[in-house]
Structures are given as structure tokens and as C-alpha cells.
Amino acid sequence: MDMQELIDPFARLIEDLCTPAAVRAVEAGGDSSAMWNGFVESGFLDALVAEEAGGAGLSLADAAPLIALLGRHAVPLPVGDTMIARALLAAAGVEAPAGPIAIATGAGPAPFAAVASHILSGSPEVPVLSEARVEATGVHHDVDGYAPGLDGKALRAVAAMLRAILISGAAERVMEMTVAYANERSQFGKPIGKQQAVQQQLSVLAEQAVAARIAAAIGARSGLTPRLADAAIAKHGASLAAAQIAAIAHAVHGAIGISEEYDLQLLTRRLHGWRLADGSEGYWAGVLGGLRMDEAGKPTADFLRAA
């Protein structure tokens, strides 16, 4: 199948359902059922479910551009999480609920838990579905939340890959917004994008956005039961890029960028949340370091080729 035949309609769906105003309304605690039902009716929630179980049977690598679109538009509901949850549940022979499913993999806040009806824990092979009993983080307009008492450690790798793809989608949009702003905003009689100091910053932003996308792709290539090294490389790279991208974007935008009414914050708050979720760059560096030291006699280049 030509993936573009799926990507274009999905992009239009998200643009219709998740306008910046609709995203803000959900973040503010408004009713999200209309937005969610739009995703349910689209059929995309079963994109990763095997064909014999009634899904589209896409691989994670195939679906990565769809998931990146969710990041790009700061979709405030666990659409990507639910796609993965539904695929794992179907494979385990468990019927999925109609509502949004968040994935909880540790004691910290789980992305989108505050707007989920169910929480997935357990492991890829034995997924455990629970009704959402979530504690708010208290962070302004946060859709993430604590889901205490669940053990989802074994889902951390797949969730980390998902988060890396979401980061790469948001990063792309942040780069485009920031470049456009630098070309529009004029100071000292010319667009600030003509200033070398600003150009250098934007070049670093672009490098990091590409690095995040490549890192996410490394993760996606190993599928729904990822190899640990791939997940580690993906989430480490995306998280490392996320913080830098958000910082440069805000620096270039100036004060308007941290205002509520400007859309940049919808994306940069996600970047920071996803960076921390399911293990930061430091966590995954530790995991990969352990794997690397298990093969200390091997040159790094050989380790990478085997990875």
C-alpha cells in the first residue's frame, strides 16, 4: 500500500478534529468525547492491529508517519498509545474498550493518563488493562497524570519508541514555526533570520530535528516488541533533541513564544513531557551502556552494526 494514501486523510482528520482551539479546550478539562469519537470512527485506532484481527496490519515503521502527525498537531489524547494498546490487546486475545487508553510504565506521570478511560500496564505479551484511576499532576493544563499501583515496566521500550516518534513530529513543526517566525519578525530594520547569530541557532535546531527523526526511525524499525538497544537509541536521541529544540524555539520567538495564546507552547510543553516520560535520555543511556559493556571487547562500530 502507498502510505501516502493513509497519511493524507489522517492529516486532514487531525486538522479537522484537533484545531489549536480544540486542543486548548481539552487541555482546559473540556469534553473530549467528540474529538475521540472522530478518531474511533476513522478506523485509524486499529492501524497496528493485525489484519486477521480486523486491523490494518501496519508495521510500526509504516505507522510512524501517522504517529508523528499526532505529535505535529499536539493532539491532546492518547491516540498513538491506543493504537499500540489495541494491537497488543488484540494479539493477546483481549477485547479493547472503546475509550482512550494510556500506557503507564513507571511511577512518574503517564502521558495522556488524565484524559484516558483505561490504562495499559503489564507487558507486550501479557498486557493488563485497568480502568483509569488517575491522580492529577497539578501542572497547568496537563493531560498527563499519575496512574499508581500498576506495573508497566515491561512496556517501557515500546512506549519509549512511541514517545520518540511523537517528539520527532512535534520537533518538525517547531522547526517550521521557528524558521517562519524568524523570516517574519523584523528588528533592527531586517528579519531576525538575517542575523547570523539567529541563523546559527536555527541551524542547530534543524540538526536536532533531523537527529530526533532519525533516532525515532531507528526505534520504529524493530516493531512492537522492540529490541532494547533500538528503543534506547531512539528515546535517548529524541529526548536529547527535545529539550534543545524547545529552548532554541523559545529563544528565537522571544516573549510571544511563552504566551498562552501563541501555539508554540502547545508543542514545547509536549516536548518536555514526552522527554521525561518512559525514561529520559539518561535512563536510556544507562540501559544502552549496560548492553555496550556486556560486549566491551567489541569496537563501537561493530556493536552498532549488530544493534
Partner 1 sequence: MFETLTLSTLPPEDEAIRPALRALIAEAISELPVDRRARSWQGFDASFSRKLGQAGYLGLSIPKSYGGADRSPFTRFVVVEELLSAGAPVAAHWIADRQSGPLIRHFGTEEQRQFYLPRICKGEALFCIGMSEPGSGSDLASVRTRADRQEDGSWLLNGQKIWTTNAMHSDYMIALVRTSGTSADRQQGLSQLIVDLKLPGITIRPIVDLTGDAHFAEVFFEDVRLAPDALIGAEGQGWKQVTAELAFERSGPERIYSSVVLIDAWVRHLEAVGRKDSATMRLAGSLTAQLAVLREMSLAVTARLVAGESPVVEASLMKDLGTGFEQAVPQLIGDDLAANPDEPVDAELYRTLLYVTHIAPSFSLRGGTREILRGIIARGLGLR
Q: Which residues bind partner 1 (CB under 8 A)?
A: 172, 175-176, 179, 182-183, 193-194, 196, 198-200, 202-204, 206-207, 209-211, 213-215, 217-218, 221, 232-233, 236-237, 240, 281-282, 284-293, 296-297, 299-304, 307
Alpha-carbon span 85 to 227, nearest angstrom: 18
State the SS3 of 99-134. CCEEECCCCCCECCHHHCCEEEEECCCCEEEEECCC
| Residue (82 or 208) nearer to partner 1, CB | 208
Shortest Å, Cβ 66 to partner 1: 15
Alpha-carbon span 120 to 67, nearest angstrom: 18
| Residue (140 or 298) nearer to partner 1, CB | 298
Please name the residues in contact with 20: beta carbons below 8 A apart, sequence gap of 6 or more: 74, 263, 266
Residue 191 is given by DSSP the state E
Alpha-carbon span 295 to 298, nearest angstrom: 6
| Residue (21 or 293) nearer to partner 1, CB | 293
Query: What are the percentages of helix, strand and coil residues in the chain, rounded to 5?
Result: 60, 5, 30
Shortest Å, Cβ 260 to partner 1: 28
| Residue (52 or 294) nearer to partner 1, CB | 294
Shortest Å, Cβ 7 to partner 1: 12
Cell 482546559, located at residue:
28
Shortest Å, Cβ 222 to partner 1: 12
Shortest Å, Cβ 193 to partner 1: 4
| Residue (54 or 282) nearer to partner 1, CB | 282
